[in-house]
Chains A and B, each alone.
Chain A
Amino acid sequence: MPLPTRHVIGLMVDNLRKRKSVFPIPRRKAVRWAKALDIPEGGETVLYTGHMYQLLPYMMAAVRRMGGMEDSFLGRFVGMGRFFNRMINVSSFISIPRRADVKRCRQLLRNIAGLLQQADVEFGYLYKAELYSGALAYDVGADDVFHAHARRVYDMLKDHGVRTLITVDPHTTNMMRSVYPTVIDGYDLEVKSYLEVLAASDIRPQHRVDQSITVHDSCVYARYEGVIDEPRELLRRAGYEIREPKNNRELTHCCGGPVESLFPKVAHEVGLKRTKQLEQAKGAGVAAMCPICMATLEMASDNGLQIDDISSYLVRAYGGGAQQPAVDESTDDERSEP
Chain B
Amino acid sequence: MKMMEMLSEVMAIFSRWNKKLLRQPILIFFNLIQPLVWFLLFTQAFSAIGNIPSFQLLTGTSSYITFFTAAVIIQTIASSALNTGIGLVNDFDSGFMDKMRVAPINKSSILFGRLFSSALTTVIQVAIILAIGLVLGVNIASGVAGTILIFILAALFGIAWSGISLFVALRTKNAETTLSVGLLTTFPLLFLSASVMPIGLLPSWVQQVATANPFTYIAEAFQSLIINGLVWQKIEYALIAIFIVGVLSLGASILLFRRKVS
Do A and B pair up? The answer is: no
Interface residues of B, Cβ cutoff 8 Å to A: none
